[in-house]
Amino acid sequence: MEDNLTTLASLPYSKAEILRSLLESEGIDCVLENVDFLQDAMDTGVRIRILEKDARKAFPILDMMLGKVISDPSKAENYVLIPIDFSGFSLKAALIGFDIAEKLEAKMVLYHSSPRPEFLTIPYSDVIVYDSALFINYEMTEKLTNQKFEEFLNKLTAAIDPVRWKKARPEYIVKIGEADDDILSYIQVHPPRMVVMGIRGQDAKSGDLIGTTTAGVIFNTKVPVLAIPEKTPDNWLENFKKVVYATNFEATDFIAMDKLLKLVHPFGCKVICLHVNQGNNGELDEAMLEGMKEALCEKYPDAFFDCRLVHSNNLIVAIDQFIQENQIDVLAMTTHRRNLFTRFFNPGIARKMMLHTQTPILVFHA
């Protein structure tokens, strides 16, 4: 298996040659593929292939060449990052993100990334001919983006008191690139206290509950992400009282609850630890839940939390029903429980939930 080739990166030809030199200087054999000087591959599509056994050693070299800086997510900067795409979902996220930044006494950063215009280069001898429409496309993209950003800010500030807006010290970042990659790169260099974004955006399909950009950020960052549905009330933070966390008595649940209680402490809300018994030994589950509650009470005597047990053969329906019946304000999940997360957002359940969901989802790493 270790003798198999794997693609380390796909880079322009000049950068691919630089990376090959760096790898070979460290004793890592590599080959370049898709080098075709008659096409545009030398600009966009040269693959650097290495042996799988060298991957662990090669990735730091790639990061160094690309100038990637990895920060410690535990040392978060005092700001709330709000990615926007000018949709109704991102407007809702910006309104709630503003309230959260104000509550945390943190700075608010609005981040927008516009798709890069398509272009083509054709090499002839030592002369490269560029698509003449490239610069016009860039100019039009920049002009349109600035216009949309201004319209978005007008809607946002119209809903917020001017004095509060000025005190929040908002910052704006607008760039051209791939949204999820750019957001993740920015988070790596400048870890925020929290990311607040719309649960969907312009990239979402009609049957999706969560957009691809939001999912990409959630699964690939270690900072907490709060995903906001479009139906969430504007004054959501004023009535933020209950958070539910679904537990299955895993060892990491205690770590997750520890992080969750610290995350929501500034908001003074109640955390409910929920377990769904799916036809197993109910008495055993009750005992384990009681033991979990005693341990948490001993560690956090001043925290507001509870442990609840419900019986149902359908885990996801039970959680959704509990949210509706108990007026839960946030559903908390951890990224290590991808099975639960994936099941919760499968298309069949998602379509049903789209009709009534207004519950934000807090996803954090544990």
What is residue 258's predicted lDDT score, i.e. its pLDDT? 82
In 3D, which of 351, 292, 298, 344 has the Cα closest to residue 322?
A: 344
Q: Which of 113-117, 130-134, 294-298, 315-319 has the lowest mean pLDDT?
A: 130-134
Q: Are 241 and 275 in contact (CB under 8 A)?
A: no
CA angle 338, 343, 344 (to 5 degrees): 100
Does the domain at 5-66 match CATH 3.30.70.1530? Answer given as yes
Per-residue model confidence as pLDDT tens digits over 4-44: 788 888 788 778 888 888 898 888 999 888 776 555 444 45
pLDDT above 70 covers a percentage of the chain that reads: 79
Delimiting residues of CATH 3.30.70.1530 domain(s) in the chain = 5-66
What is residue 160's predicted lDDT score, i.e. its pLDDT? 92
How close are the terminal C-alpha atoms of the chain, in Å?
31
CATH fourth-level superfamily of 79-228: HUPs (3.40.50.620)
Mean per-residue pLDDT for 319-346? 76
Q: Which of 9-18, 162-171, 192-201 has the lowest mean pLDDT?
A: 9-18
Select the highest-mean-pLDDT range: 163-167, 200-204, 237-241, 246-250. Answer: 237-241
What's the CA gap between 113 and 221, in Å, rounded? 18
Mean per-residue pLDDT for 265-289? 86
CATH fourth-level superfamily of 240-364: HUPs (3.40.50.620)
Q: Are 331 and 359 in contact (CB under 8 A)?
A: yes
| Per-residue pLDDT band at 119 (split at 50, 70, 90) | low
Delimiting residues of CATH 3.40.50.620 domain(s) in the chain = 79-228, 240-364
191 or 76, greater pLDDT = 191
What is residue 195's predicted lDDT score, i.e. its pLDDT? 96
